[in-house]
């Protein structure tokens, strides 16, 4: 099976971190777009899916940090919970990609994506309840914040990420997960 | 999309520009701790004066220093309204459906908005007065103790440095794709939010493909020139902090301690 070199993984991670700053800018004309369309989650999940968990984790931590420093969003006060959430997405999507193998690229992608999106939300909710907003964070606030407000973003991620991965595979920019075996003659 | 993000480096020769990047990063962390621990309204008045002094020392135009906060009017309004309507329902002036505005909520909203504003402007002063490569070096220096537990801090610093250099390139690329989509009828400037959202979505796949193409070219070029990520390099020697760096750190530490004590 083809693999990606560590140097290429590092540069792809750098590009995904840069996209964490650039993509929210594309949505900036829409009020409150960050929490509705969740543009920063897309490169983080993609990084975890393509480069593996250590790079996904770094992307999840560094993406919100650089975005906060360059554009002010998320503001420093909201940065720690957001960094934990994104780090969980990058890390879990990378771990799942390593272990989930159904022999169908799209099935793998959806299992990893949904698994990462759910566990990332659970980890972020636990972090808020236990650390960042200890004692004043309720189940209703968690469900509203992570599932209701961000529903358009969740739909966008589920539709768009497999399309992007497929486009990248077709362009030869990342190796196919299950390369076709050609029989000569 | 047609402008660069607020925090891009602007060369200068001020006292703040000349400070060591790692010292500036530590100062920012201390100041963030001090701002978060400020409770009294008078404290915020003091912070505004200190920030004005910092901007003057950095010789940054006030417009540039405030740029990152200026575009977030909606966000500040939202923070203010949420706190006003929901923060202290038991002290409400009036109750309309789920909304219970109170003076305690208004005060808390102003406090949170002031904190966010101060944090934004402080981060912006750091970014505008520090070259990106110096900032990456500072990250590497501050993260270097993690090498002892096996974290590849050099690789992480290289990734951050490449990421920072990619931001303007990708912004330009995205702007080009946005203009191409506009020419094909996408309505980015529509007053209708649904139309705007629909216009942004087709932008994403081409942006990713273009970005990954650049990453592919860069990684090929690096590998062709012999760059290896798994080689252990010699330990980097960092220059020691100078007197002015220590002075800045001491002042910020004193501010953090004072604001935490009088909280």
Domain ranges for chain B, please list them.
Answer: 9-151+242-263, 153-228
ipTM: 0.87
State residue B253's pLDDT score. 92
Least confident of A101-110, B30-39, B81-90, B136-145: B81-90
Q: d(Cα A11, Cα B217) in Å, to the nearest integer?
A: 10
The tokens for A147 are: 């599932």
* Contact: A27, B200; criterion CB under 8 Å: yes
Task: Give φ, ψ of B60 to 5 degrees.
Answer: -105, 135
Facing A31 at nearest CB: one of B32, B74, B161: B74
Q: Band of the pLDDT at A47, cuts 50, 70, 90?
A: very high
Taken in order A170, A172, A178, A181, the sign of the CA dihedral is positive
Assess A40–B contact: CB distance below 8 Å, yes or no: no
Q: Band of the pLDDT at B5, cuts 50, 70, 90?
A: low
- Whether residue B16 contacts residue B58, with contact meaning beta carbons closer than 8 Å, is answered with yes
Task: Give φ, ψ of B79 to 5 degrees.
Answer: -60, -45
Which residue, among A4, A10, A36, A166, would best test binding to B if mutated, counting the most B CBs under 10 Å from its CB? A10
Which residue, among A22, A38, A73, would best test binding to B if mutated, counting the most B CBs under 10 Å from its CB? A22
The residue ranking higher by pLDDT, B52 or B40, is: B52
Q: d(Cα A180, Cα A1) in Å, to the nearest integer?
A: 10
* Contact: A11, B162; criterion CB under 8 Å: yes
pTM score, two decimals?
0.75
Q: d(Cα B142, Cα B128) in Å, to the nearest integer?
A: 20
**How far A148 CA sits from the closest chain B CA (Å)?**
17
Chain B contacts of A149, Cβ < 8 Å? none
User: 1.10.1760.20, 1.10.510.10, 3.10.105.10, 1.10.260.40: which CATH number matches A6-170?
Assistant: 1.10.1760.20
State residue B172's pLDDT score. 82
The residue ranking higher by pLDDT, B1 or B66, is: B66
pLDDT, mean over chain A: 86
Chain B contacts of A26, Cβ < 8 Å? 1, 174, 178, 200, 203, 207
Chain B contacts of A31, Cβ < 8 Å? 74, 193
* Contact: B170, A15; criterion CB under 8 Å: yes
């Amino acid at each position: 099976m083809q693999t990606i070199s560590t140097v290429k993984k590092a540069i792809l991670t750098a590009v995904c971190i840069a996209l964490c700053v650039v993509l929210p800018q594309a949505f900036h004309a829409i009020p409150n777009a960050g929490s509705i369309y969740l543009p920063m989650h897309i490169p983080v999940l993609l990084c975890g899916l393509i480069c593996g968990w250590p790079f996904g984790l770094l992307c999840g931590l560094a993406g919100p940090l650089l975005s906060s420093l360059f554009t002010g969003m998320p503001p420093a006060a909201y940065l720690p919970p957001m960094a934990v959430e994104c780090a969980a997405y990058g890390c879990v999507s990378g771990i799942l990609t390593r272990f989930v193998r159904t022999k169908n690229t799209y099935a793998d992608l959806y299992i990893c994506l949904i698994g990462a999106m759910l566990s990332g939300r659970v980890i972020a909710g636990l972090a808020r309840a236990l650390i960042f907003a200890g004692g004043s964070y309720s189940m209703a606030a968690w469900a509203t914040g992570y599932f209701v407000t961000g529903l358009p973003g969740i739909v966008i991620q589920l539709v768009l990420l497999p399309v992007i991965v497929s486009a990248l595979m077709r362009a030869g920019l990342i190796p196919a997960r299950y390369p076709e075996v050609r029989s000569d003659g | 999309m047609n402008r660069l993000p607020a925090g891009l480096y602007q060369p200068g020769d001020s006292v703040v520009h000349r400070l060591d990047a790692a010292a500036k990063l530590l100062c920012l962390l201390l100041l963030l701790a001090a701002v978060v621990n400020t409770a009294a309204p008078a404290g915020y008045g003091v912070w505004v004066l200190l920030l004005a002094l910092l901007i003057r020392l950095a010789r940054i135009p006030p417009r540039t220093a405030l740029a990152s906060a200026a575009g977030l009017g909606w966000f500040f309004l939202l923070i203010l309204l949420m706190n006003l309507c929901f923060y202290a329902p038991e002290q409400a002036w009036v109750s309309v459906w789920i909304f219970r505005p109170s003076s305690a909520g208004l005060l808390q909203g102003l406090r949170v908005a002031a904190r966010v504003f101060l944090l934004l402007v402080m981060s912006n002063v750091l970014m505008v007065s520090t070259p990106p490569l110096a900032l990456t070096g500072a990250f590497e220096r501050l993260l270097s103790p993690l090498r002892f537990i096996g974290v590849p801090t050099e690789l992480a610093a290289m990734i951050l440095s490449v990421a920072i250099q990619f931001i303007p390139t990708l912004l330009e690329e995205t702007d080009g794709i946005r203009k191409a989509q506009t020419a094909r009828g996408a309505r980015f400037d529509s007053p209708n939010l649904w139309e705007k959202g629909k216009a942004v979505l087709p932008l994403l796949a081409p942006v990713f493909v273009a970005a990954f193409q650049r990453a592919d070219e860069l990684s090929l070029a690096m590998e062709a020139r012999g760059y290896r990520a798994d080689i252990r390099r010699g330990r980097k020697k960092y220059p020691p902090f100078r007197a002015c760096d220590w002075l800045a750190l001491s002042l910020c530490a004193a501010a953090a301690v004072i604001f935490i004590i009088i909280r």
